[in-house]
Amino acid sequence: MKGKIVRVKLGKENLHDRIKLLQLWNPDKELQDVEVWDDLTEQERQRSVPGTMTVTFSMVKAELEDWTSDVSGYPRGMVSFKYPEADMERVMAWMTGDFGNVTAPASDSLLRNVTSAVSGLLKQYFAAASGHNLFTSPFKVGWALRKRDGTREMTQPLTLMQINPNSPILPIANYSVRQEEAQTLNDIINNPGSIQITPSSIPTEWGEVSHIDIIATPPASLIPQDMVITGVTTVMVGDKRQRAYRYNRLDDTEVCGAASIQNDLRIIASIPVGEMTEGKPMTVQLIPGALSNWKLLDKFSTGGDGDTGDGDDKDDNQGNQEDKWEPYIDKETNPLDLGDPERRKWMYMAALRGCFDRKSIRIRVYASRHRQNWRLIADGRRGWVSAATHQGFRWFKVRITGSMNRGDYVDAVSFLVTRFR
């Protein structure tokens, strides 16, 4: 039987797990299109690819200079606010928990002033932590191989680091209430940390790779946009009951959700490959001022050295809206019968269709007779594989991995198959 091209449509957004449509194309026309995929020299095909490498990320607790308390072990700062004379009994009740003499509600002036003071303390703390390149909230982090020609390649998806996934509790360690002014010494229940990586495997030959670039998204905000202090309540900190400011704290769902949709990827560190040791944890030394000058960092891109921080942020995630870009994809199709589930088929070629950097994409084809046991029959780069098998199979599935620049997508897989009669 004459060879036929079967194309499986996968949808426009990068690559979907679910197959949306199955169509047959004109074989003659498709065979002409296939020639476009064969524009690589034999030398390029045989170029060695760096061996597999796996990196595990973790966080290491760090002390923030001039903030960490020797008593609680948490960062500690002062909240100072003014209040109307009529609110003095309420302010005292906030500190002691005894509201027996309080008859009037808190004034708008009191709530406004204490909210401004507490939010000001939090902003100072987070700014100080960023200035020391310490993370205080969830963010996404990953790594990429940087080659000597400036191109980069990701081989693992990003990791969501769920450090301090809630707005901090602010227990009051000490207080002073004077005429029309109050001060509280507050612990900030938040553990700043630095990134640590552990290479679980390292290639014996690095080839053209010179550095490992660490990439990340900015940490999610832990301060509510509409933050309002409504009073002071009793909380448990460890095994102790303490008075703490009550406000509309963000929970882990909100914070981690905001971090997971963030895709403003920047290069925060570069590690020469010679400094890495298999199985040995190492603390990542961030670029000086990386977290406090985020917009000046190079944007991550697989095709070269990236942007140089020219202030053009049109691609950044705005308005806290979900960004569909996947900088690294690892997707697998459903089992495919290629239009003929009852008969076995020879597959001679599989090629990805879409807009992407072929040098960064890896395609693996698996085959099965009855969808119970799957066999890897082809593994290649550049978005296509040929002469996949000389055996007949009824079912196939494709796994696609690799780096994707913003705007890249894979929307179809084409197969060249011959069916048994």
pTM: 0.77
Task: Count the Cβ atoms, other than its own, within 10 Å of residue 387.
Answer: 9
In tens digits, the chain (421 residues) has pLDDT values of 345 556 565 544 333 333 333 333 223 333 223 222 233 333 333 333 444 788 999 999 999 988 998 888 999 999 999 999 999 999 999 999 999 988 889 999 999 999 999 999 999 999 999 999 999 999 999 999 998 888 888 888 999 999 999 999 999 999 999 999 999 999 999 999 999 999 988 887 888 899 999 999 999 999 999 999 999 999 999 889 999 999 999 999 999 999 998 889 999 999 999 999 989 999 999 999 999 999 999 998 876 554 544 445 544 444 455 667 888 888 888 898 888 888 888 888 888 888 887 777 888 899 998 888 998 988 888 788 876 566 788 899 999 888 888 888 888 888 888 765 4
Residue whose token pair is 């995630």 = 317
Domains and CATH numbers, the chain: 4-49+333-419 (2.60.120), 54-296 (no CATH)
Strands (E), 343-394: 345-355, 361-368, 375-381, 384-386
For tokens 């030398």, the residue is 43
Looking at the chain, how many residues does it have?
A: 421
Give the whole-angstrom CA distance, residue 168 versus residue 20.
45
Q: Cβ contacts of residue 341 below 8 Å, gap of 6+? A: 394, 395
